Structure 1
């Protein structure tokens, strides 16, 4: 018995076995040093999660004008709405357990790649260098 190719593809999509994946573009990347000011929020409370610290780093750089030596400018997180979405984007991205620990401990250099489509970020990949 022969099935038309279209019927097979439709069956696979309907069964959830295959789904079209939209290509993601590298929107931007930047390097930043995670310094002591990045480890605390604006009220002085110690941050405990890497996405909190990375967000604070970008807020310190863009909002407060307090970058660390080695911090690079990025246009993406200059927009407060994109900083607000950062946690979700980091959770959907890639970061090793070691990278998470290095960020929380501070003193790490991070390279972040922002992926998405049409200027809208979907996820962030983070690498750490010491």
Structure 2
């Protein structure tokens, strides 16, 4: 009986002293169609990296008023500074090689989720079909 009380006490102390695992905060979740206008920068040069195209898509949507059917508003990339750090946010997050190739080709719908894990904001990008 004494062993059971000691074990219960130790487990209770451990559970109270161990930090709780916290889920990352979802800051934004949106979909966008990557159209021809998103594949070129404001000067007309063809973009070659997926994060450049995702950034241009958001600039087109928020700054230039260019959108395609299916494009959704987001609260993060309306800010020019946040668009500027999108590459870093993707590096801290994820985008598959095949999704990256699809984005560079254009003509696809993407889903973008922006998270905060307490250290870095990061982005997870998927291509939806």
Q: Give the TM-score normalised by structure 2.
A: 0.79
Say how many residue pairs are matched: 110
Q: How does 1:1-16 map to 2 (within 5 A)?
A: none
Q: What stretches of structure 1 move > 6 A for 4+ residues in a row?
A: none
CA distance in 2, matches of 1:128, 1:53: 13
Superposed CA deviations along residues 32-81 of structure 1, whole A, max 9, x for unmatched, are 00000000000000000000000000000000011111100011111111
Cα RMSD for the two superposed structures:
2.0
User: What residue is the counterpart of 2:75 in the other structure?
Assistant: 75
**Conserved in 2, the CA contact under 8 Å of 1:27 and 1:117?**
no
What runs of 5+ residues in structure 2 fail to find an aligned partner? 1-20
Superposed CA deviations along residues 75-117 of structure 1, whole A, max 9, x for unmatched, are 1111111111111001111111110000000001000000015
Aligned to 1:114, the other structure's residue is in SS state strand
**Conserved in 2, the CA contact under 8 Å of 1:99 and 1:127?**
yes
1:36 correspondence with 2:36: yes
Larger-Rg structure: 2
- Which of the pair is proportionally richer in helix? 2
Q: Give the TM-score normalised by structure 1.
A: 0.78
